[in-house]
Amino acid sequence: MEKPLRISERARRVEPFYVLEMAKAAAEIGQAASGSDRPMVYLNIGEPDFTAPPLVRQAAEKAIRDGNTQYTAATGLPALRERISQWYLERFGLQVPPARIVVTAGASAALQLVCLALIERGDEVLMPDPSYPCNRQFVNAADGRAVLVPTTPAERFQLSADTVARNWKDGITRGVLLASPSNPTGTSIHPDELRRIHAFVAERGGITLVDEIYLGLGYDAQYGHSALAIDELIVSVNSFSKYFSMTGWRLGWLVAPAALVPVIERLAQNLFICPSTIAQHAALACFESDSIAEYERRRSAFKARRDYLVPALNALGLIVPVLPDGAFYAWADCAQACKRLGVADSWELAFALMHQAHVAVTPGRDFGQAETARFIRLSSASSMDQLQTAVIRLKALLA
């Protein structure tokens, strides 16, 4: 008899990504409903319904035609690093040298590289509860430990300097991993509070790592600032997926202190060689004036969707306690809906909504441990027509 395959302890610690598990269930139920008069409305995945604009697609086609498909430097095309640097200057008034920018195979690769570079076995990293589940897996993959700190609506579901101080353990806590705007809540950290957090962390020799992949999709000027404005020691991770509508192209970047870049480069050379060359050539066209104008039109569309969806959910008893100032999510308290439908929590509610209303949402299970069982996340990345259809169906079911 063959011996069973031995799975590493590291792999066994990784929980399922329930967002995708739920997406598989939604696809199966949706397939069965595809021939009906009520096809599934998908509000469960955080993927823009917009795809890459024309200039980006044309740049990719040109790169293929011209044979520009071979390896680049592990840190990315110099021209792309320059264009990203210019974007920070034009959009945020920030001088970010291209030498501090590393282009990566998506924001996921950026987070993995930073965690491997900075986290030792046993290091603890503080994160808000709720937060994006995959981020804590990057900490775990580096043999660190993600510590989820419960947050409240009064804190905008974000860490504060006070909560960081209360949960910091000298000699054990390595730093903080934040997201602004956040998935699943769509809320940002006020720059003043982020400055206080970083001051506390930096004083103890810790790291402040900020996931800013939704930074371009902000709707409130008081929050629309990059963490890079605070200090060059902050590490920022960004992506071409959300604001730039290039989800499947798997391209992102990070901005790191100058001393960290050679370390990141060495890791990237060994783990990834380089990001997709075709995607990099295509991404150069993201910064053309016509492309930026299109992205800004899309940002306005996302804001209009938020302004429709959040009040509609509140009216249905799916209370969104904090108005999202960015991204395209609504983090809704579903306790009333669970009671009306006689289900125990958001996990059971999500299946009830799929089966009875043909509306797919994401239960809170993925995003933390505190009160996530009473929350669902709805994505407003779908079209206004889809959002309106979903609200009509939810109203009929929950009335």
Q: Confirm if 282 and 92 have CB atoms less than 8 A apart.
A: no
pLDDT in the model for residue 34: 67
What DSSP line would sit under 125-143, residue for residue?
Answer: EEEEES--HHHHHHHHHTT
1 pLDDT tier (thresholds 50, 70, 90):
low
> How far is 331 from 324, CA to CA, in rounded Å?
8
Going by their DSSP bridges, the two strands 207-211 and 173-179 should be labelled as parallel
pLDDT in the model for residue 399: 83
pLDDT in the model for residue 2: 73
| pLDDT higher than 90, residue 21 | no
Give the model confidence (pLDDT) of 103-139 as tens digits: 999 999 999 999 999 999 999 999 999 999 999 999 9
Give the model confidence (pLDDT) of 68-105 as tens digits: 999 999 999 999 999 999 999 999 999 999 999 999 99
> How far is 348 from 104, CA to CA, in rounded Å?
37
207 sits in which H/E element: strand 207-211
> Omega before 130 cis (within 30°)?
yes
Give the model confidence (pLDDT) of 164-194 as tens digits: 999 999 999 999 999 999 999 999 999 999 9
Q: Confirm if 353 and 216 have CB atoms less than 8 A apart.
A: no
- DSSP 3-state assignment of 7? coil
Give every CB contact of residue 126 below 8 A, 6+ residues apart in sequence: 147, 149, 159, 164, 167, 168, 173, 175, 176, 177
Identity of residue 114: V
| pLDDT higher than 80, residue 18 | no
| C-alpha pair distances (Å), 228 with each of 82, 94, 210, 297, 340 | 17, 8, 9, 25, 46
| C-alpha pair distances (Å), 226 with each of 95, 216, 308, 332, 367 | 12, 10, 27, 26, 24
Q: Which domains does the chain have, with CATH numbers?
A: 9-50+291-398 (3.90.1150.10), 54-288 (3.40.640.10)
> How far is 247 from 300, CA to CA, in rounded Å?
19
Identity of residue 320: V
> How far is 341 from 397, CA to CA, in rounded Å?
9
Q: What is the DSSP secondary structure assignment for residue 249, as one 8-state letter?
A: G
Q: What mean pLDDT comes out for the span 152-169?
A: 97
Q: Confirm if 324 and 330 have CB atoms less than 8 A apart.
A: yes
pLDDT in the model for residue 32: 75
> How far is 175 from 206, CA to CA, in rounded Å?
5
Q: Which two tokens stand for residue 41?
A: 């409305």
Summary mean pLDDT of the chain: 95
234 pLDDT tier (thresholds 50, 70, 90):
very high
pLDDT in the model for residue 35: 64
Q: Which two tokens stand for residue 336?
A: 């009333």
Q: % helix / strand / coil in the chain, to the nearest 5?
A: 50, 15, 35
51 pLDDT tier (thresholds 50, 70, 90):
very high
| pLDDT higher than 80, residue 30 | no
Q: What mean pLDDT comes out for the span 372-389?
A: 96
Q: Which two tokens stand for residue 245?
A: 């509508």
Give the model confidence (pLDDT) of 321-353 as tens digits: 999 999 999 999 999 999 999 999 999 999 999
| pLDDT higher than 90, residue 29 | no
Q: Which two tokens stand for residue 345?
A: 């929590």
| pLDDT higher than 80, residue 298 | yes
23 pLDDT tier (thresholds 50, 70, 90):
confident
The alpha carbon of residue 357 and the mean position of all alpha carbons in its chain are separated, in whole angstroms, by 27
Q: What mean pLDDT comes out for the span 36-58?
A: 92
What burial class does residue 213 get, using C-beta atoms within 10 Å of its C-beta: 0-12 exposed, 13-18 middle, 19+ buried?
Answer: buried
Give every CB contact of residue 399 below 8 A, 6+ residues apart in sequence: none
| pLDDT higher than 80, residue 16 | no
| pLDDT higher than 80, residue 140 | yes
83 sits in which H/E element: helix 78-92
Going by their DSSP bridges, the two strands 235-239 and 252-255 should be labelled as antiparallel
45 pLDDT tier (thresholds 50, 70, 90):
confident
17 pLDDT tier (thresholds 50, 70, 90):
confident
Which residue in this structure is represented by tokens 């603890």? 124
Give every CB contact of residue 340 below 8 A, 6+ residues apart in sequence: 317, 398
Q: Widest CA span of the chain, in angstroms? A: 66
Give the model confidence (pLDDT) of 245-275 as tens digits: 999 999 999 999 999 999 999 999 999 999 9
